Amino acid sequence: MSTSGNTYRFRKMEGLGNDFVIFDAREHDLTLSDDAVRHIADRKRGVGCDQLIVMRGCQDADIFMEIRNADGSRVGACGNATRCVGRLMLDETGKEAVTIRTDAGLLGATRADTGISVNMGPARLAWSEIPLAEVQDTANIAFELDGLLNPVGVNMGNPHAVFFVDDAEAIDLKTLGPKIEHDVLFPERVNVSVAHVKDGIIRQRVWERGVGITDACGTGACAGLVAAARRGLTGRKATVMLDGGPLEIEWLEDGTVQMTGAATLAYTGEIVL
């Protein structure tokens, strides 16, 4: 991976506009400080991305995927990045299915007609699993801020609060997102979604913790479908329409969530670290 001295190759990939800088550290180790991640993620001074991914060798899976947000923080799961890394490993190995180890658990990826399909693991629904700072009914959390109220809590490897509203487009998510993300009710911070359901399709916008408003959030889409099903607004399978495009989400009977969508290689490059 290291081409000369401190120059490193990377891939730039995206899933519905949620974009990633991906390093392969299997042959040459790579350790990045939070400052280095922020520099690489900066869209004016670095490469620019929502998340930075480091692929590492793994004994019990085809690959280990380390996930860092644009602010340098490490997170357990990222659905769109999992599809991108899944595509890379499917191409590399020639297998019909690959496994990806993350901080949140072991995930599987396969090819699908519309891109890459990934099982994102179980939807965790207990208040202590979100987590929340106090005991709550996670299907109807007692929380209100400027007209947003009673979200559904879902953990898909990272915490989500999904607010159902009359019109997701009308919500000032740029202002309300960071306030909710850092509220004391969410001790590990939280990803914030606003959504409405029309004609069986979930229209969802996402404020991603450590990133901001994002074109697409895979775990957010999974959380949105689970939240809508818990409220009786949809069945256990639906299209989630994000700013960047659609994801097909299904909450399987075993409690895990299947996500299918695009995973695109934009370009490859080199960066001096």
What residues act catalytically?
78, 217
CA angle, 134 as apex, 130 and 138 as ends, to 5°?
45
Task: Indicate the SS3 state at residue 75.
Answer: strand
DSSP string, 190-255: -EEEEEEEETTEEEEEEEETTTEEES--HHHHHHHHHHHHHTTSS-SEEEEEETTEEEEEEE-TTS
- What is the C-alpha separation between 38 and 33, in angstroms, rounded? 9
In the chain the first and final C-alpha atoms are separated, in Å, by 13
- What is the C-alpha separation between 98 and 90, in angstroms, rounded? 6
Around 138, how many Cα atoms within 13 Å sit in the side-chain half-sphere? Answer: 23
